[in-house]
Structure 1
Amino acid sequence: MRTVSIVPQKSQSVSVILAGQQCVIRLIQRESAIYMDLTVNGNPIMQGVPCLYGNKMVRYSYLGFVGDLVFLDNIGQQDPVWDGLGSRYRLYYIEESELVQ
């Protein structure tokens, strides 16, 4: 598992290479939750997916993303909130070999 570097901002885009994939992860805090968009090698993979504690974000390999992303809470089991991003709430990339099939 690898940590994806994020910062405590209400809206941000992060460019990162994960398993050879050029990824752009966009996070935006709305009233109900933080939402994620994921673009891989210039192709939108998912848009507007709510970020929930411990939930795999991509879930389906047919979408064209190798591995998965997950938010974890370092203190409890709460869904992420923007002001704790990067410290309390961390975004992790899960390698394909680490996923339970």
Structure 2
Amino acid sequence: MTAVQIPLNATASQTLNVILNQQLVRLDVYQRSTGLYMDVWLNDTQIVAGAICQNLNPVVHADYLGLGGDFVFVDTQGSADPTYDGLGDRYVLTFVTTS
């Protein structure tokens, strides 16, 4: 099992592309009044839509989707759920492989 930190900016809405397990992954991360959410695209196919982002709670929850791991937000200063204004600093997004 390996962990890779995904760089995020402290903005209310962002999209980034990363290569994970030799696959193109697009992440849409956005703040709503009810929390921080994320969409996950794998090779131009959306595999997760509107997942709530919580501290230490995996985002994808489904090995059969072929991602080969899962995304986890980590609060480096406590145990709060992430908000956009702390992304990349207090709240770190990590991709943990299952292999």
TM bucket (normalised to shorter chain) is over 0.9
Q: Quick one: distance in 2 between partners of 1:82 and 1:92? A: 15
Moved over 6 A (4+): none
TM alignment of 1:10-49, pairs within 5 A: 10-49=12-51
Per the alignment, residue 88 of structure 1 pairs with 90
- Equivalent residue letter for 1:52: Q
> In the TM superposition, what is the alpha-carbon distance from 1:62 to its structure 2 partner?
1.5
Q: So what's the TM-score if we normalise by structure 1? A: 0.93
1:60-95 CA-to-partner distances (Å, cap 9, x unmatched) read: 111232111000000000000100000000000001
Q: So what's the TM-score if we normalise by structure 2? A: 0.95
In the comparison of the two structures, how many residue pairs are matched?
97
Identify the structure with the greater strand proportion: 2
1:26-77 CA-to-partner distances (Å, cap 9, x unmatched) read: 0010001001000010110100000000001111111232111000000000
- Equivalent residue letter for 1:57: V
- Equivalent residue letter for 1:42: D
Q: Quick one: distance in 2 between partners of 1:6 and 1:28? A: 11
Q: Secondary structure at the match of 1:62?
A: helix
- Equivalent residue letter for 1:95: T
- Equivalent residue letter for 2:98: E
RMSD: 0.7
Q: Quick one: distance in 2 between partners of 1:21 and 1:5? A: 17
